[in-house]
């Protein structure tokens, strides 16, 4: 049975919060693309996606996603969430959004967008700008 797009994406973010990389990657098609637009990084296929999630969870072992919005249009979906965790001892929390293309209930492309400047300011790697 193919799951509806909002259910797939909600379950995917729940899996992300578990940090169970095998479970997370099971949502992706074999020839998937994972794109972090903010950092200019593109991963192709399950092996690269697996490596990416393993690296991210090693760097941010307390990373969490608070799901705010899930929507769909045909085989496309979007998710808005709040990402939070710590970088060293510095906490961070910022909004992020992802656009997904699905086929047969699997993610074939995810493009994620988030504000790098907000993250860098919160963890002390960039000064706050004057308002």
Structure tokens at 9: 């994406």
- The angle at the Cα of 117, spanning 112 to 120, to the nearest 5 degrees, equals 105
Q: Read off the pLDDT of residues 18-30 as tens digits, 9 standing for 90 and up.
A: 999 999 999 999 9
CATH number given to 5-122: 3.10.450.50
What integer is the mean pLDDT of 108-117?
97
> Taking the model in full, what pTM does it have?
0.93
Phi and psi at 101, nearest 5°, equal: -115, 130
Q: 3-class DSSP state for residue 2?
A: coil
pLDDT above 70 for 2: no
Domain locations in the chain? 5-122
């Amino acid at each position: 049975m193919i799951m509806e797009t909002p259910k797939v994406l909600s379950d995917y973010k729940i899996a992300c919060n578990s940090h169970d990389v095998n479970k997370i990657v099971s949502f992706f098609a074999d020839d998937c693309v994972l794109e972090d637009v903010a950092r200019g990084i593109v991963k192709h296929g399950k092996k690269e996606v697996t490596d990416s999630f393993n690296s991210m969870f090693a760097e941010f072992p307390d990373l969490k996603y608070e799901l705010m919005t899930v929507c769909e249009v045909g085989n496309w979906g979007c998710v808005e969430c709040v990402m939070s965790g710590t970088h060293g001892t510095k906490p961070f929390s910022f909004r992020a959004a992802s656009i997904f293309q699905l086929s047969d209930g699997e993610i074939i492309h995810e493009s994620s967008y988030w504000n790098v400047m907000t993250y860098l300011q919160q963890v002390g790697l960039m000064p706050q700008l004057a308002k």
